[in-house]
Amino acid sequence: MGVLNATPDSFSDGGRYHQLDAALAQGRALIAAGADILDVGGESTRPGSRPPDEEEELRRTIPLIEALRAETDTPVSIDTRRPGVARAAVRAGAAIWNDVSGLSERGALETAASLNCGVVITHMRGDPATMQVAPRYGDVVDEVLDALNARAAAALAAGVPEDGIYIDPGVGFGKTLAHNLELLRALDRFAAGRWPVVLGASRKSFILGLVPGAVDPLDRLGGSIAVALAGARAGCRIVRVHDVRETAQALKVDAAIGAPRPVRGAPHAPPARRSRVRPARG
Ligand code: HH2
């Protein structure tokens, strides 16, 4: 899934694809680079952000979706928290509603059911304005899994088609660095469940917590690819990334190599060392 942010303020690419022409050109580039889905967004959900009004979000996204649909069959998802924007986007040709608030807005479940589209239900603690203010969990993996399963069950009960429901642990949405790492280590548990998993970690600031020099989000390509590979190996079905060409290449090579074979003649080889990162920043 290639990220196409038609926003002035997204944390890593804000302003680049704010104009329709530039966004359309980036959409074409993402498809040429190997994207299977284009994720169009008109609201930055970076920590501390404030949403645009609905008219503005519609203005940013709907003409772009129409223009993309006019020239490509590549499925488009709409990255929005607003049922009204999702409705207009599906009317314009979007096939998936990607909702980082996990269909929590009033009327979201009913809208999702009526649209007959795929939905990505992401876990977020609080909202973007406040989510990184001292997030706390008991067991983050259990809590996120339980919350996503409950939300997916609610979507199913509301009438969303079973084969259209995806879940996403929501890296960086109300989580510290330690929480994000716990979730990433447990991706296989998410993937072993009932719902296919989407993972969105590309260029996010938890990478800065591990690689202190990577202040510029554009300098987080290596970390982003590492997470995408970890996600794919754990069984995630979709990775949401900015750098589609590089990630697709890494995924292809990684899939060709496959899982390591046990070493013959060394049945008691010591287990691989696992570095422990001290939980510091979010
Ligand atoms: N993250 C962002 C936006 N949408 N959707 C899903 N399913 N999962 C995610 O982790 C996710 C998402 C935030 O990243 P980005 O779009 O790059 O930045 P911004 O919110 O500043 O536009």
| Cβ atoms 40, 74 nearer than 8 A | no
Q: Which of 11, 120, 239, 244 to mutate to test the pocket of ligand 1 (most atoms within 8 A of CB)?
A: 11
pLDDT for res 279: 44
pLDDT for res 54: 97
Q: Which atom of ligand 1 is nearest to the CA of 198?
A: 7
Give the containing element (helix H, strand E) for 76. strand 76-79
Q: Give the Cα separation of 247 and 195 in Å (integer).
A: 23
Nearest CA to ligand 1 atom 1: 200
| Cβ atoms 38, 77 nearer than 8 A | yes
Q: Which atom of ligand 1 is nearest to the CA of 172?
A: 10
Residue type, 125: R
| Cβ atoms 87, 115 nearer than 8 A | yes
pLDDT for res 282: 41
Q: Give the Cα separation of 242 and 250 in Å (integer).
A: 14
pLDDT for res 36: 98
Q: What is the DSSP letter of 164?
A: G
Handedness of CA 65, 63, 59, 160 (dihedral sign): negative
CA atoms within 13 A on the CB side of 15: 3
Q: How remote is the CA of residue 203 from the centroid of ligand 1, in Å?
A: 10
Q: How remote is the CA of residue 260 from the centroid of ligand 1, in Å?
A: 32
Q: How remote is the CA of residue 258 from the centroid of ligand 1, in Å?
A: 29
3 state DSSP class of 64: helix
Helical ranges in the chain per DSSP H:
20-33, 54-71, 83-92, 108-115, 140-158, 177-185, 187-191, 206-210, 221-234, 244-257
Domain boundaries, the chain: 2-258
User: Ligand 1 within 6 A of 176 CB?
Assistant: no
Burial label for 97, CB within 10 Å (0-12, 13-18, 19+), is buried
pLDDT for res 259: 82
Q: What distance, in Å, lies between the first and last C-alpha atoms of the chain?
A: 24
Nearest CA to ligand 1 atom 18: 10
Low-confidence ranges of the chain (pLDDT < 50): 277, 279-282
User: Ligand 1 within 6 A of 98 CB?
Assistant: yes
Q: Give the Cα separation of 68 and 12 in Å (integer).
A: 22
Instruction: Give the pairing type, strands 118-122 and 76-79.
Output: unpaired
Q: Which atom of ligand 1 is nearest to the CA of 171?
A: 10
Q: Topology of domain 2-258, per CATH?
A: TIM Barrel (3.20.20)
pLDDT for res 210: 97
User: Ligand 1 within 6 A of 79 CB?
Assistant: yes
pLDDT for res 261: 84
Nearest CA to ligand 1 atom 15: 10
pTM given for the model: 0.91
pLDDT for res 9: 84
The two counts, helices (H) then strands (E), for the chain are: 10, 8
